[in-house]
Copies of this chain bind each other. A is one copy, B any other.
Amino acid sequence: MSPFFVKVGTVWDVQFTEEYMLINTEFSPQNSNAAKHVMGTRSLGLLGFMWDVAERLKALLVFAEHRYYGESLPFSEDSFRDSKHLNFLTSEQALADFAELIKHLKRTVPGADDQPVIAIGGSYGGVLAAWFRMKYPHLVVGALAASAPIWQFEDLTPCGVFMKIVTEDFKKSGEKCSESILRSWGAINRLSNTGSGLPWLTKVFHLCSSLKSENIQRLKDWISETWVNLAMVNYPYPANFLKPLPSWPVKEVCQYLTNPYMSDSLLLQNIYQALNIYYNYSGQSRCNNISETTAGSLGSRVWGYQTCTEIILPFCTNGVDDMFEPRAWDLDKYSDDCYKQWGVRPRPSWVTTQYGGKDIRSHSNIIFSNGDLDPWSGGGVTEDLSDTLVSVNIPEGAHHLDLRSSTDIDPPSLQLARSLEIRHMKQWISDYYGNYRRQP
């Protein structure tokens, strides 16, 4: 085996006039499908901004799939078998793939050789876009890192910030909403201690299988994750990112959660109504399976391996600054769980050692965009670090809202954010041509 295993699977590319390339570092099978879908319908959907900006800047658009996701499997179906086969799944290797892909495209696409390239990504894809510019500045003139929590590692951000932002979203979206949720955990705990409580909870939450007392924590986690996901996709118009949802879904949810002080059973019936916004907005769900993670394929097995090796994101709650049951960040337990599941232990400090943590000011040309409603903004870069490491904040934005297509009802802050982003990209391109032409 040579030192680097480089394999990039499916690459979709659409050629405009090839003035330059945009590389999107999206990663999940779900996002890949979204990209495919976008390809059919053009400027609608999750990655619509890339289509809009590519058309505007006359760019070649490239979607690079992350290894071990989608169809980019180094050992086909054996890729997930054990840690030996998963050993080539690291962010470094993914960045190396992107580097090889860009070199390949420059060699093979007519006229692409001298063109500037821009990296774009959202969420983990945004983190990769930023890291790619940091590590391969000779291959991309800049990066748009949308909702990229590059500081959600180690102690760079207090572990409670994420859930605090989730809680604030619910507070803002309805009176007594977060208070209702905070009280719901006690209600579940009390009911699960009664003889009739477990079948009652099974029925009220429409669970697919009978709730057992050892699964109470799982039920509460499943509900918590739902609130988190709702905060992430709290978009101003109906959308289908994690699930098909109405506009401002947290506000919809909070309509059911106006009174925290009713009886446990009434409170939990309201909680179910609220959850149902997320799980059954399309009307097709028959029962809820709490052993499935709520984010669907985003919480896939492969991502689980990454969070057990490199991508260690500390989270905690205290029930005071947030609406969740208190839970400390316990790296030892986390590590033991990883070892049980994968036979590997996390290296929580490696990402900081490798990518610089907060000390990244010697880099340049990265836009960090964040939505104030997005819990991931807590670990993001929300202030300018230099003239060329800039932050773009979207007060009404949830998780990488700016990467979606423009719509008629986009808030002004979103429109402004996108035009700032495009202005920076144009600057990078003109700087590139300026430097390029000065060369002998």
* A100 shortest CB reach to chain B, Å: 6
A138-B347 CB under 8 A given contacts A83-B1, A87-B1, A310-B3 = no
* A429 shortest CB reach to chain B, Å: 15
Tell me if B344 and A2 are in contact (CB < 8 A). yes
Of A58-66, A251-259, A353-361, the segment with at least 4 beta carbons within 8 Å of chain B is: A353-361
A364 to B137, CA, bound (A): 12
A350 to B96, CA, bound (A): 9
- Interface residues in A84-112 (C-beta closer than 8 Å to B): 84, 87, 89-90, 92, 96, 99-100, 103
Name the contact of A347 in the complex, choosing from B4, B139, B310, B361 (C-beta under 8 A): B4
Tell me if A138 and B360 are in contact (CB < 8 A). yes
A362 to B432, CA, bound (A): 11
- Interface residues in A129-175 (C-beta closer than 8 Å to B): 135-139
Name the contact of A137 in the complex, choosing from B87, B89, B350, B362 (C-beta under 8 A): B362
A281 to B99, CA, bound (A): 50
**Chain A interface, >50% SS class:** loop
A2 to B84, CA, bound (A): 9
Q: Which residue of chain B has the shortest Cβ distance to A357 in the bound complex?
A: B138
Q: Which residue of chain B has the shortest Cβ distance to A102 in the bound complex?
A: B353
Tell me if B309 and A356 are in contact (CB < 8 A). no
A4-B360 CB under 8 A given contacts A92-B92, A135-B135 = no
Tell me if B137 and A363 are in contact (CB < 8 A). yes
* A433 shortest CB reach to chain B, Å: 14
Tell me if B1 and A356 are in contact (CB < 8 A). no
Contacts of A135 in B (CB 8 A): 135
Contacts of A84 in B (CB 8 A): 1
Tell me if A359 and B3 are in contact (CB < 8 A). no
A298-315 to B contact mask, C-beta < 8 Å, 1/0:
000000000001100000
Tell me if A3 and B90 are in contact (CB < 8 A). yes
Tell me if A309 and B362 are in contact (CB < 8 A). no
The verdict on A345 contacting chain B, using a C-beta distance below 8 Å, is yes
A243 to B208, CA, bound (A): 79
Name the contact of A435 in the complex, choosing from B139, B310, B361 (C-beta under 8 A): B361
Contacts of A3 in B (CB 8 A): 87, 89-90, 92, 309-310, 347, 350
Contacts of A309 in B (CB 8 A): 2-3
A338-373 to B contact mask, C-beta < 8 Å, 1/0:
000000110101100110110111111000000000
Count residues of chain A with CB under 8 A from any CB of chain B. 37
Contacts of A354 in B (CB 8 A): 96, 99, 136
Tell me if A359 and B138 are in contact (CB < 8 A). yes
* A307 shortest CB reach to chain B, Å: 13
* A108 shortest CB reach to chain B, Å: 14
Tell me if B83 and A353 are in contact (CB < 8 A). no
* A161 shortest CB reach to chain B, Å: 18
* A288 shortest CB reach to chain B, Å: 36
Tell me if A138 and B362 are in contact (CB < 8 A). yes
Tell me if A362 and B364 are in contact (CB < 8 A). yes
Contacts of A92 in B (CB 8 A): 3, 92
16 contacts between A and B (CB under 8 A): A1-B83, A3-B89, A3-B92, A3-B350, A4-B350, A96-B353, A96-B354, A99-B354, A100-B353, A103-B349, A103-B353, A135-B135, A137-B356, A137-B362, A138-B357, A362-B364
In the complex, besides A4-B90, A100-B353, 4 extra interface pairs with C-beta distance below 8 angstroms are A3-B87, A96-B353, A137-B363, A139-B353
What 9 A-B pairs are tightest by C-beta distance, nearest first?
Answer: A138-B356, A138-B359, A137-B362, A3-B90, A99-B353, A103-B353, A3-B309, A1-B87, A2-B344
